[in-house]
Amino acid sequence: MKEHNLKFPKIDKSWTLFLDRDGVINEKIENGYVLNVKMFKFIDGVLDAFPVLNEIFGRIIIVTNQRGIGKGLMSEKDLEEIHNYMLEEINKVNCRIDAIFYCPHDYEKEECNCRKPNIGMALQAKSMFPDIDFKKSIVVGDSMLDIEFAKNIKAYSVLIVEDYKPNIEFLSFKSLYDFACFLLDKRIN
């Protein structure tokens, strides 16, 4: 990534926030998948981050690879139930998610253009919300696939990493909550 990714410009309601789900919003299951609502656990602080993010960004969109569907471990109905639960909890803190896009494909079995780092989900979002400007977008994810996805749409990128270390190529934070605090602090100062 270019150095400009480290220097965020002023963000206003014309900006879009793309969020990965597993490892950013909910706890990731290492070597496994969140297959039902009982397995979905919000990461500490995430629900506190949403009021800040909702105030700053004009759109908040989730883009998530859900390979468990392609592997036959869960159905799209299972995923819909998980997402409905997640949205209900976010709504309880008077916040919103504008759309959720997911890739159900298993990359070992299928070729697709939607699995990150491919840009299919970003194009779906742009189709639904034509005013999205990828150059005025931030992608927050927990893997290098998310960073590549951001690069492929020419958006800014943020990596959520538990063992936080400053990075010269992109911004990284320990949690979505820490990223929201950074944005709030940047706005105030």
Among 12, 20, 44, 146, the one annotated catalytic: 20
Q: Is 185 considered catalytic here?
A: no
Domain containing 164: what range?
A: 3-188
- Total domain count, the chain: 1
Q: Please report, for the domain that includes residue 13, its CATH number.
A: 3.40.50.1000
As beta bridge partners, residue 173 has 160
pLDDT of 33 over the 70 cut: yes
Count of helix runs (H) and strand runs (E) in the chain: 6, 6
pTM of the shown model: 0.92
- pLDDT, tens digit (0-9, with 9 covering 90-100), for 166-187: 665 678 899 999 999 999 887 6
Known catalytic residue at 178? no
Phi, psi of 186 (to 5 degrees): -65, -35
Cβ partners under 8 Å of residue 15, min gap 6: 56, 57, 58, 59, 136, 137, 138
Which among 128, 127, 101, 100 has a CA at the least distance from the CA of 112? 101
- pLDDT band per the 50, 70, 90 thresholds, residue 164: low
Give the closest residue to 164 by CA, choosing from 186, 182, 189, 148: 182
| pLDDT tops 80 at residue 49 | yes
| Residues 46, 79, 20, 117, Cα dihedral to 10° | 170
Catalytic hit among 22, 78, 142, 146: 22
pLDDT at residue 110 tops 80: no
- Residue from 180, 163, 160, 186 nearest 48 by CA: 180
